[in-house]
Structure 1
Amino acid sequence: IVLDRSGSMAFAHDEVAKNGSPAAAPPGWKMGHAVPKDARWLDTVAAVNGFLDIMDDSSHDERVSLSTYSDKSKADVKLTSDYTEIRAAMNTHSRKFKGGATNIGSGILAGGKTLGDKELARSWASRVLIVMSDGIHNTGTEPVPAAQQVANEQIMIFTVTFSDEANIQEMEKVAVSGGGQHFHAKDSQQLAEAFRKIAKSLPTLITF
Structure 2
Amino acid sequence: MVGVSSAGAALGTSAYFNDEESFDGNSLAAGELDLLLDYQVRYHGGPGRLEEIRGMGYDGAEVIDAEEGVYLLDEVPDTGDIEDWDQYVLEHGFCDEQARERLVNGDEISPIALEDVKPGDSGCLTTSLHLCDNPGYIWMNGSLTANDDNGLTEPESEVDDTDGEGEGELADSIETRVWYDENCDCEYDADEENGGDDVDVALVLDRSGSMSGSMSDLKDAAKGLVDELGGNARVTVVSYSSSAALDQGLTDDGAAAKSAIDGLSSGGQTNIEGGVTTAQDELLNGTNARSGADKIMVVMSDGEANVDDDGDGSADPTDEATNAKNEGIELYTVAFGSADTTTLQAMASDPADAHFFDAGDADELIDAFSRIGQIIAGEKEIFSGTLAELMGILETDDGIPLDGDRESVYDEIDGGEPAAGDHEDRDPFEPAATHCLGFEWELPTDVGNEVQTDSVTFDVGFYAEQARHNDGSGSTA
Q: TM-score, normalised by structure 1?
A: 0.77
Equivalent residue, structure 2, for 1:190: 364
Kept after mapping to 1: 8 A contact 2:211/2:266: no
The 2-side partners of 1:121 and 1:167 are apart by 31
Mapping 1:127-206, distance limit 5 Å = 127-140=295-308, 141-163=315-337, 165-176=338-349, 181-202=355-376, 203-204=378-379
For residues 160-198 of structure 1, the C-alpha deviation after alignment (integer angstroms, 9 at most, x for no partner) is 0111x1101110000047977100101111011101111
Offset of 1:144 from its aligned partner? 0.2
Partner amino acid, structure 1, of 2:302 = D
Equivalent residue, structure 1, for 2:240: 69
Offset of 1:88 from its aligned partner? 1.5
Instruction: Mark the CA change 1:178 to 1:85 in structure 2 (over 3 Å): closer, same or farther.
Output: farther
Offset of 1:117 from its aligned partner? 2.3
For residue 348 of structure 2, give the secondary structure of its aligned residue in structure 1.
Answer: helix
Structure 1 position 123 matched with structure 2 position 297? no
Structure 1 position 92 matched with structure 2 position 92? no
For residue 333 of structure 2, give the secondary structure of its aligned residue in structure 1.
Answer: strand
Instruction: Mark the CA change 1:54 to 1:115 in structure 2 (over 3 Å): closer, same or farther.
Output: same
Equivalent residue, structure 2, for 1:9: 211
Higher helix share: 1
Offset of 1:149 from its aligned partner? 1.3
Instruction: Mark the CA change 1:98 to 1:133 in structure 2 (over 3 Å): closer, same or farther.
Output: closer
The 1-side partners of 2:282 and 2:210 are apart by 25
| Greater mean deviation of Cα atoms: 137-146 or 169-178 | 169-178
Structure 2: unaligned runs, 5 residues or longer: 1-202, 309-314, 380-435, 437-477
Offset of 1:40 from its aligned partner? 1.3
The counterpart of 1:83, out of the listed 251, 254, 265, is 254
The 2-side partners of 1:103 and 1:54 are apart by 28
Kept after mapping to 2: 8 A contact 1:185/1:194: yes
The 2-side partners of 1:148 and 1:119 are apart by 24
For residue 263 of structure 2, give the secondary structure of its aligned residue in structure 1.
Answer: helix
Offset of 1:80 from its aligned partner? 0.2
Q: TM-score, normalised by structure 2?
A: 0.34
Offset of 1:98 from its aligned partner? 4.7
Kept after mapping to 2: 8 A contact 1:108/1:147: yes
- Cα RMSD (Å): 1.9
Instruction: Mark the CA change 1:150 to 1:178 in structure 2 (over 3 Å): closer, same or farther.
Output: farther
The 2-side partners of 1:100 and 1:51 are apart by 25
Structure 1: unaligned runs, 5 residues or longer: 11-38
Kept after mapping to 2: 8 A contact 1:150/1:178: no
The 1-side partners of 2:350 and 2:306 are apart by 20
Kept after mapping to 1: 8 A contact 2:206/2:302: yes
For residues 108-127 of structure 1, the C-alpha deviation after alignment (integer angstroms, 9 at most, x for no partner) is 11111110125311111100
Kept after mapping to 1: 8 A contact 2:204/2:276: yes
Equivalent residue, structure 1, for 2:77: none
Structure 1 position 114 matched with structure 2 position 255? no
For residue 68 of structure 1, give the secondary structure of its aligned residue in structure 2.
Answer: strand
Equivalent residue, structure 1, for 2:41: none
Offset of 1:41 from its aligned partner? 1.3
| Greater mean deviation of Cα atoms: 176-185 or 72-81 | 176-185
Partner amino acid, structure 2, of 1:87 = K
Instruction: Mark the CA change 1:184 to 1:67 in structure 2 (over 3 Å): closer, same or farther.
Output: same
The counterpart of 1:52, out of the listed 226, 234, 252, is 226
Q: Which runs of 4+ in 1 moved over 6 A?
A: 177-180
For residue 116 of structure 1, give the secondary structure of its aligned residue in structure 2.
Answer: helix
Offset of 1:142 from its aligned partner? 2.2
Kept after mapping to 2: 8 A contact 1:159/1:183: yes
Higher strand share: 2
Instruction: Mark the CA change 1:126 to 1:134 in structure 2 (over 3 Å): closer, same or farther.
Output: same
Partner amino acid, structure 2, of 1:63 = R
- Number of matched pairs: 170
Equivalent residue, structure 2, for 1:36: none
Offset of 1:130 from its aligned partner? 0.2
Kept after mapping to 1: 8 A contact 2:244/2:275: yes
